[in-house]
Structure 1
Amino acid sequence: MKRRLAAAVMVLSGLTATVLPLSGTAVAVAATAPAPGSVVPDQDPFYAAPANIADFHPGQIVASRPVPKPTLDWIPMPVDVWQISYRTNDSHDRPELAVTTLIVPLTAWAGHGPRPVVSLQSPEDSLGTQCAPSYQVAIGQDNQDAALGIELLAANWAVALPDHEGPRSVFLAGPQEGHAVLDGIRAVKNFDTAGIGPGNPYALSGYSGGAHATGWAVQLQPSYAPDVKLVGAAMGGTPSDPAAVARYLDGGAFSGFEFAAAAGIATEWPESNIDSLLNTRGRQDFAALKGKCESDVLTGFAFRKLSRDTTVPDPLGVPSVAAVLKKDTLGAQAPSVPVYDYHAVTDEIVPVGQDDALVRDWCAKGATVHKVRDLLGEHVEEAAARETSVQLFLAARFAGLPAYDNC
């Protein structure tokens, strides 16, 4: 749901994956494993879960490999980059494999305490593993958070980019995304390389589809990962209520997001029975959506109404669908750390009203929220307008300053 900004990664070939000797049952990737980005994730054994993935602890590393000598044109300093695979859980707490990309500046950290680390949730907004951040970075394609990445890395912080949609690329499956983000931080802590490990301060950031993952991570952290200590979270243009966002998008220029979310939710929650509601056209469309990245989703499904693909006039109102959408709506638990929540009132993709409802829910439960609403601006413009504000909010949290609260 966010614009693509230029970011090139020049990747050398001939690299093999390595395994960290951590506790438990880490398994080696074959020495002939392809170099990062040389084949798509579905054909890369690095992305394949071992048969005993259930024996791993959430956040335990399965394998790691460096992305060799990258030249990141959007970063004004040299960095080291690694891919780390780890065990996480889907929305039903079933074990699965996820991958995060850790980027660490080579410039020595001279600030107070250990170097800060930001888990940056990129708005993948897609249904194919080749669209995931780890693969996109490895092949040198555009990075959707390049501009914000500049802000964070220019501050000499480390950045982790988790593939928060997981191995099945399930768009807008909140609990699964939250688990992948939190377990990704656990994996980075376990990696304990280049000055990044258990002792560093960690924060979250994400916009649009990335904000959905960020919101779920910060909401689930107290119960799912109390060991993952965070200092704060920044999230903007947040699609907190999938049903409200779907109704807002239905039949409009960005209705492709509605179709992608419906397909992702149908995959993650088969009990929604979405597949059983599809007519002939719907079955064809959902099959065509599989494996598509954001641009193809948007161009192929613009100005489409979901009801034309179903046997019922209001698929979102079907009890099995409504129950899952409610389960996938943020707000049930309050984050335990300060949140910076920003949104354009005139957002044409993600309606501000459902984000306002999230803030009210969190505030009523005792959260600390710095709410910012810009009266003008489109979805993309809001992301650009608030990049520096996000960095300043996170810098204040890393410095231990009290957070502003306008709940």
Structure 2
Amino acid sequence: MLLAFFPLLAVLVQLASAFSHPPSRRDSILSPLNDPFYTPPKGWKKASNGDVLRTRKVDLAFLQIDEINYEAAYQILYRTTGAYENDPSTTVTTVIIPHNAKRDKLVNYMIYTDAAGAQCAPSYAMRKGGKIATDLALNYQQLLFSTLLEEGYIMTLPDHQGPTRAFAAGRLEGRMSLDGIRATLNYERIGLSKKSKVASFGYSGGAIASGWAAALQPSYAPEINAVGFAMGGTPANITSTVENLNDGLFSGFGIAGVVGLLYTYPKIMEWSKGKITKAGHQAIEFARNNCLVQTLLEYPFQKLLSDKFVLGGGELLYDPTIRSVIYDMVMGYKKSETPTVPVYMFHGQHDEVIPFNSAIKTGRDWAKHGADVYFEELTDVTMAHLTSELFNLPNVLFFVRDRMEGKSFSKGFTHKRTGNPLEDPGVPLKGLGSLVEAIQNIVGKEVGPGDAYIHSKIKHHAHRQ
């Protein structure tokens, strides 16, 4: 029942209000760096992409407070690809089966971790006994988890950043997400057929994975019966995103993203030798050992494009080596990488983290190349990055429902402007009244209009340093 959100809300509010404190940790399970489950067996490179290498049944917990109400949960180590398509790699997906499971439908949910710490991986953070999730990266996403599970959808939640913690490495994340779908369909205990309908969603860093999965699916995994891809707050262009984050409140996102690329692409690592400053090495060390909230609190208002972290940093984004990597990760610029199933994109007009113009350009470019894209622009002044995610959760759910039911979808590019999605009188009438109230509670008490309360907390922490 959606009413079950209310006991959870009290915990959410307490954890979010204390999010300036580092997460505590239980000792009952090993982190991905020490857990042998994550180490592939001998001969794994000979396997095909999406092949199951190892499995285990796991206990999950939302917020590490109580067990999720589900029938079974499994983790799958599977074969996939790394920085390049000919680069073998592995990662893990967590599959949750609800009690009322629909055995012909699968939701591929790309959690945003937006960080480079190993302990931030969903496969660890969601396990009972893992780190207590004080990160907003997991807390607020669990509202939609619960709703999707209640509706009977089996969910697969890949560690789409892989073992290198490749935050911002879009092509890698897209392929790892698609191979996570393959692995889920391949694992017979899940009970899904290879023809099961698959809908995907990701927000913010998760939208990197969802967007690239949408773009690459027709060529990389055409056998997947994809019925739709949803994404919001989409970082469609690394250059414009880093420029937007530079010297701003959320510059920590930029540090985590640069670190993710550094450890994913050997030519960037080689290029960086002798160029990274002492402050740069300290930032790398911090980002590799912490999650989203801690990185944001530690590194607000940083001049990313200066000599502080990298010598010659002012021209960092236009260096030929860097440019060769990030230009290849602009969503929508290659006609050969165009989604062939419905795409739903949404973005706050006043998003202070991810540039709106880059996201809508991707939607238009995809449509120009033949895709069907419905782009919802959230125009209210309160629709900032986190607020837009929370307030638009019902529309994401409607998109998933409609795609699974095979309903019609608008052709070409559709651009809709909406003030506040929760002002749609049809939302509570469609059985989501409790979800709407839960969202409003969180925003009103802990996020604030336009993410104002979060801004205040980061600024307060910065002043104390």
- Asked if TM exceeds 0.5, the reply is yes
Q: TM-score, normalised by structure 1?
A: 0.86
Please say if 1:392 is aligned against 2:398.
yes
Given that residues 244 and 354 in structure 1 are in contact (C-alpha distance below 8 angstroms), is that contact kept between their aligned partners in structure 2?
A: yes
Deviation at 1:69, TM superposition (A): 7.5
Structure 1 residue 196 displacement after superposition:
2.4
Query: Is the CA contact 1:153–1:159 (under 8 Å) kept in the aligned structure 2?
Result: yes
- The answer on whether the counterparts of 1:245 and 1:351 sit within 8 Å (CA) in structure 2 is yes
Moved more, 97-106 or 140-149: 140-149
- Residue 128 of structure 1 corresponds to 117
The aligned runs of 1:95-244 (5 Å cut-off) are: 95-107=88-100, 109=102, 114-138=103-127, 139=129, 141-142=132-133, 143-144=138-139, 145-244=141-240
Change (3 A) 1:228 1:115: closer
Find 1:360's aligned residue among 359, 364, 375. Answer: 364
Work out the CA distance in 1 between the residues paired with 2:171 and 2:395. 27
- Is 2:317 the partner of 1:329? no
Task: Work out whether residues 171 and 265 of structure 1, in 8 Å CA contact, stay in contact via their aligned partners in 2.
Answer: yes
User: What amino acid is the match of 2:319?
Assistant: V
Q: Structure 1 residue 369 and structure 2 residue 373: aligned?
A: yes
Quote the Cα distance in structure 2 between the aligned partners of 1:178 and 1:153.
Answer: 23
Matched residue SS, 1:82: strand
Aligned 8 A contact 1:255 1:303 in 2: yes
Q: 1:234: Cα distance to partner? A: 0.6
Residues of 1 paired with 2:232 and 2:147: CA distance?
16
Map 1:340-359 → 2, pairs under 5 A: 340-359=344-363
Counterparts of residues 31-70 of structure 1 (less than 5 Å): 38-68=29-59
The answer to whether the 8 A contact 2:371-2:412 is kept is no
| Separation of aligned partners in 1, 2:287 and 2:208 | 21
CA deviation map 1:59-103 (0-9, x unaligned): 000110011476887898433111111000012221111000000
Instruction: Judge which range, 313-322 or 170-179, deviates more.
Output: 313-322
Partner of 1:289: 287
Q: Answer whether contact 2:80 2:90 (CA < 8 A) is retained.
A: yes
Q: Percent identity?
A: 33
Secondary structure of the structure 1 residue equivalent to 2:97: strand
Question: Do residues 84 (structure 1) and 82 (structure 2) align?
Answer: no
User: 1:107 and 1:132, CA in 2 relative to 1: closer, same or farther beyond 3 A?
Assistant: same
RMSD, aligned α-carbons = 2.2
Structure 1 CA distance for aligned equivalents of residues 210 and 158 of structure 2: 11
One-letter code aligned to 1:243 = T
Structure 1 alignment gaps of length 5 or more: 8-35
| 1:50 Cα offset (Å) | 2.6
The letter for the 2-side match of 1:98 is T
Count, aligned residues? 372
Q: Is the 8 A contact 1:63 1:85 kept in 2?
A: yes
Q: For 2:311, give the aligned amino acid.
A: T
CA contact (8 A) 1:57 1:87 kept: yes
Which structure features the higher share of helix residues? Answer: 2
Shift in Å at residue 351 of structure 1? Answer: 1.2
Between the aligned partners of 2:190 and 2:388, the Cα distance in structure 1 is: 34
Change (3 A) 1:147 1:203: same
Partner of 1:317: 318
Structure 1 Cα separation of the partners of residues 60 and 318 of structure 2: 51
On the 8 A contact 1:338/1:368 being kept in 2, the answer is yes
5+ residue gaps in structure 2? 1-7, 13-26, 414-465
Aligned-pair CA distance for 1:358: 0.6
TM-score by length of 2: 0.76
